[in-house]
């Protein structure tokens, strides 16, 4: 009797606790499909139901993607695994890029004031304007530009007109290429040219310095911003937010404009652009200071930000600290200055948009910037590259719904990683964490708008299964996480939806010549027995 019971118990235990013993291949595949389906629904875009038309476009896109991946595995040349300087031409020549570029991408939320416009425009348009001067600094050898009426006395930099430089150089095409190279990082062999992060950052800052001399001339300043809006608009981005240093803008006679003038000018140019192109939602700016200045300067800048936000609430939306993070001061260093708004009675509402965790180091003061950014109630986090090393921060970004601004090409070019398939955002996208995609400083590496970065996300960061739903979700999220008011967001989403429908129809027209067999990610599960 006992024996029978014992055996019965044994049988029950085995079958209930270790069901795998009894599993046949059919149940196994069912369990497997269920797990994959659960994971699918967790990822960014996993909850979006595509319409039939969208499914058709998705199929076109996914067929090209599979083909690209197959080709990459065969040849070893896979663009999203390579440095952008090697892959740019190939990427921009692909059908996927064509679709991604025409796809409405919502908002670009992580950009900087002097790195939005194709440097070719600065060279071909701005350096040809009257009164443009240029020199190489006698001691540092760095290239400077400036517009003058009459030359300054200083001889540290032997200024000559661009016209005379060109004449002396002889070959204008080559001369213009020299200028282009000074304002970008583009080189044939980036690994050789930039063996360390510090070296690439130094060249990056030099490039910004050179360009700044051109851009901060008042007439150019206005044109530059208009041109930036136009480039993003043409890339099917409908709204931008820009981190601005608000550094002095000068006139030909040497007089300069203050921050109020700069904010007003940004607003006026953005409003003019929206008037010219009513299917654009506008632009807002975020005041940023470099993260190595003394505490007192950050204190003053925070107060200035409060004042400017109160004066221009619709266009001036917050504050940030920027620049290379590792050698800078951690956010904690400026704690008292940054707590100032929340310590007032009543607390003053100043939104923060901190760059934080743009580092390969773990456990350093800089790595902990992520924690401080979250405790300081940052509305978004620039990069947050280090987030996967911070389980509590991961919880918090979900709970507080604070998105990370992911800029894949920036991270690659500035030396944080090489192969974008292992970018930490793969984890975030697979788990549906709040993320927006942006391009940071596209002009400096020759990228355009958001399309190159969206390509890299689609083909590299987000993996083989990422599809049109993933990209639609990212585009919608960029509007949701912007600093627009609720009314503005609603209008922006309506605008987005009409652009999206147009894009779907146009893509079908361009790419679908005969009916396509709809792409089904889970088809492989049924075919798995072939393995
Ligand atoms: C330079 O840009 C300005 C404003 O963006 C434009 O009006 C002008 O036609 C351009 N000039 C040339 C030579 O391209
Ligand atoms: C100028 O340089 C370019 C590029 O090196 C070359 O193709 C072109 O022939 C040169 N033009 C003249 C007039 O020498
Ligand atoms: C952050 O937000 C929380 C919740 O609203 C608030 O209690 C806290 O005081 C804020 N902290 C700062 C530094 O603003
Ligand atoms: C499942 O296993 C049975 C029995 O071993 C076999 O005949 C059948 O082909 C298998 N089915 C699949 C889909 O592999
Ligand atoms: Zn940035």
Chain segment 175-215, per-residue pLDDT in tens = 999 999 999 999 999 999 999 999 999 999 999 999 999 99
Distance in Å, CA 172 to ligand 2 centroid: 8
Q: How many CB atoms lie within 10 A of CB 215?
A: 22
- Closest C-alpha among 191, 205, 187, 247 to residue 446: 187
Q: Is residue 198 part of a domain?
A: no
Residue 358, exposed/middle/buried by CB under 10 A (0-12, 13-18, 19+)?
buried
Nearest CA to ligand 1 atom 13: 125
Q: Is residue 65 part of a domain?
A: yes
pLDDT of 530: 47
Q: Is residue 168 part of a domain?
A: yes
**Are residues 380 and 242 both part of a single domain?**
yes
Report residue 523's pLDDT band, with 50, 70 and 90 as the boundaries: low
Report residue 6's pLDDT band, with 50, 70 and 90 as the boundaries: low
Hey, what are 338's tokens? 């940054």
Hey, what are 94's tokens? 């692909």
**Are residues 294 and 392 both part of a single domain?**
yes
Residues 6+ apart with CB under 8 A from 309: 316, 317, 318, 350, 351
pLDDT of 519: 80
For the chain, how are helix, strand and coil distributed in percent, rounded to 5?
Answer: 55, 10, 35
Q: Is residue 296 part of a domain?
A: yes
Mean pLDDT value across residues 55-82: 96
Residues belonging to the active site:
358, 383
Q: Is residue 202 part of a domain?
A: no
**Are residues 28 and 133 both part of a single domain?**
no
Mean pLDDT value across residues 25-46: 93
Among 193, 225, 241, the domain-final residue is 193
In degrees and rounded to multiples of 5, residue 311 shows phi and psi of -80, -35
What is the number of domains present in the chain?
Answer: 3
Nearest CA to ligand 4 atom 3: 25
**Are residues 510 and 463 both part of a single domain?**
no
Q: Is residue 402 part of a domain?
A: yes
Q: Are strands 249-250 and 256-257 parallel, antiparallel or unpaired?
A: antiparallel
Atom of ligand 2 at shortest range from CA of 174: 2
pLDDT of 14: 46
Per-residue b/e over 413-424, b at no fewer than 16 CB within 10 Å? bbbbeeebbebb
pLDDT at 154 over 50: yes
Length of the chain: 531
Distance in Å, CA 105 to ligand 1 centroid: 27
Q: Identify the bridge partners of residue 146 per DSSP, sorted by sequence position.
A: 133
- Closest C-alpha among 177, 174, 212 to residue 290: 212
Distance in Å, CA 353 to ligand 5 centroid: 10
**Are residues 127 and 108 both part of a single domain?**
no
Which CATH number characterizes residue 367's domain? 3.20.20.140
What is the rounded CA–CA span in Å between residue 461 and residue 420? 5
**Are residues 153 and 291 both part of a single domain?**
no
What is the rounded CA–CA span in Å between residue 183 and residue 164? 20
Q: Identify the bridge partners of residue 460 per DSSP, sorted by sequence position.
A: none
Hey, what are 466's tokens? 């990422």
What is the rounded CA–CA span in Å between residue 9 and residue 15? 10
Which SS3 state, helix, strand or coil, does residue 8 take? helix
Sign of CA dihedral 355, 361, 363, 364: negative
The distance of Cα 360 from the centroid of its chain, to the nearest Å, equals 18
- The CB of 125 under 6 Å from ligand 1? The reply is yes
- The CB of 94 under 6 Å from ligand 1? The reply is no
pLDDT of 4: 53
**Are residues 110 and 129 both part of a single domain?**
no
pLDDT at 368 over 90: yes
Q: Which pLDDT tens digit goes with each residue over 444-493?
A: 999 999 999 999 999 999 989 999 999 999 999 999 999 999 999 999 99
Give first-to-last CA distance, the chain, whole Å: 48
Q: Is residue 47 part of a domain?
A: yes
State percent of the chain over pLDDT 90: 88
**Are residues 246 and 372 both part of a single domain?**
yes
**Are residues 95 and 133 both part of a single domain?**
no
Ligand nearest to the CA of 241: 5
Nearest CA to ligand 4 atom 10: 25
Mean pLDDT value across residues 341-367: 95
Average pLDDT value over all residues in the chain: 94
Distance in Å, CA 22 to ligand 4 centroid: 14
**Are residues 93 and 31 both part of a single domain?**
no
Ligand nearest to the CA of 118: 1
Report residue 415's pLDDT band, with 50, 70 and 90 as the boundaries: very high
Packing angle between helix 468-480 and helix 486-511, nearest 10 degrees?
160
Report residue 531's pLDDT band, with 50, 70 and 90 as the boundaries: very low
State percent of the chain over pLDDT 70: 94
Q: Are strands 239-244 and 107-112 parallel, antiparallel or unpaired?
A: parallel
**Are residues 164 and 104 both part of a single domain?**
no
Range of the domain at 394: 89-114+216-493
What is the rounded CA–CA span in Å between residue 56 and residue 101? 18
Segment among 68-82, 144-158, 366-380 with least mean pLDDT: 144-158
Contact yes or no for 369/402 (Cβ under 8 A)? no
Report residue 22's pLDDT band, with 50, 70 and 90 as the boundaries: low
**Are residues 107 and 127 both part of a single domain?**
no
Cα 306 to Cα 265, 340, 356, 451: the distances in Å are: 19, 10, 21, 34
Per-residue b/e over 245-272, b at no fewer than 16 CB within 10 Å? bbeebbeeeeeebebeebbbbbbebbee
Ligand nearest to the CA of 349: 3
Pocket of ligand 3 (CB under 6 A): 339, 342, 376-377
What is the rounded CA–CA span in Å between residue 309 and residue 112? 18
Q: Is residue 74 part of a domain?
A: yes
- Closest C-alpha among 424, 391, 378, 396 to residue 110: 378
Q: Identify the bridge partners of residue 50 per DSSP, sorted by sequence position.
A: none
pLDDT at 514 over 90: no
Nearest CA to ligand 2 atom 7: 173
């Amino acid at each position: 009797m006992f024996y029978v019971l014992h055996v019965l118990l044994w049988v029950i235990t085995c079958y209930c606790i270790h069901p795998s013993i009894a599993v046949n291949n059919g149940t196994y595949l069912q369990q497997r499909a269920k797990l994959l389906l659960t994971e699918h629904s967790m990822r960014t875009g996993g909850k979006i139901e595509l319409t039939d038309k969208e499914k058709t476009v998705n199929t076109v896109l996914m067929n090209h993607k599979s083909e690209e991946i197959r080709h990459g595995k065969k040849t070893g040349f896979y663009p999203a695994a390579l440095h952008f300087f090697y892959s740019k031409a190939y990427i921009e020549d692909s059908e996927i890029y064509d679709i991604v570029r025409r796809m409405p991408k919502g908002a670009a939320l992580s950009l900087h004031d002097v790195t939005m416009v194709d440097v070719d425009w600065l060279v071909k348009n701005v350096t040809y304007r009257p009164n443009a001067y240029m020199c190489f600094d006698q001691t540092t050898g760095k290239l400077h530009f400036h517009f003058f009426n009459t030359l300054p006395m200083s001889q540290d930099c032997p200024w000559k007109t661009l016209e005379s430089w060109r004449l002396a150089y002889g070959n204008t095409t080559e001369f213009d290429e020299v200028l282009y190279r000074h304002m970008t990082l583009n080189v044939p062999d980036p690994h050789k040219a930039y063996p360390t992060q510090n070296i690439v950052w130094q060249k990056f800052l030099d490039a910004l310095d050179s360009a700044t001399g051109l851009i901060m001339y008042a007439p150019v300043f206005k044109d530059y911003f208009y041109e930036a809006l136009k480039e993003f608009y043409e890339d099917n981005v409908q709204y931008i937010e820009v981190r601005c240093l608000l550094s002095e803008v000068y006139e030909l006679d040497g007089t300069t404009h203050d921050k109020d003038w700069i904010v007003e000018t940004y607003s006026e140019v953005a409003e003019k652009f929206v008037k010219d192109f009513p299917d654009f939602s506008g632009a807002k700016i975020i005041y940023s200071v470099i993260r190595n200045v003394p505490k007192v300067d950050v204190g003053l800048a925070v107060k200035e930000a409060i004042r400017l936000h109160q004066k221009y609430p619709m266009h001036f939306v917050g504050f940030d600290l920027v620049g290379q993070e590792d050698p800078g001061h951690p956010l904690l260093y400026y704690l008292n200055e940054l707590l100032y708004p929340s310590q007032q009675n009543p607390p003053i509402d100043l939104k923060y948009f901190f760059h934080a965790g743009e580092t390969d180091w773990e456990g350093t003061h800089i790595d902990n910037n992520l924690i401080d950014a979250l405790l300081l109630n940052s509305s978004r986090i620039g990069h947050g590259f280090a987030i996967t090393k911070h389980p509590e921060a991961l919880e918090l970004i979900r709970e507080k719904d604070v998105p990370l601004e992911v800029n894949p090409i920036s991270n690659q070019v500035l030396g944080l990683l090489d192969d974008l398939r292992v970018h930490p955002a793969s984890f975030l996208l697979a788990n549906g964490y709040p993320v927006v995609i942006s391009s940071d400083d596209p002009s400096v590496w020759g990228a355009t708008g958001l399309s190159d970065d969206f390509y890299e996300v689609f083909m590299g960061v987000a993996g083989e299964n990422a599809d049109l739903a993933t990209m639609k979700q990212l585009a919608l999220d960029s509007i949701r996480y912007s600093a627009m008011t609720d009314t503005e967001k609603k209008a922006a989403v309506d605008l987005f939806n009409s652009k999206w429908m147009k894009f779907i129809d146009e893509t079908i027209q361009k790419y679908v010549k005969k009916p396509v067999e709809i792409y089904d990610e889970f088809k492989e599960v049924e075919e798995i027995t072939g393995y």
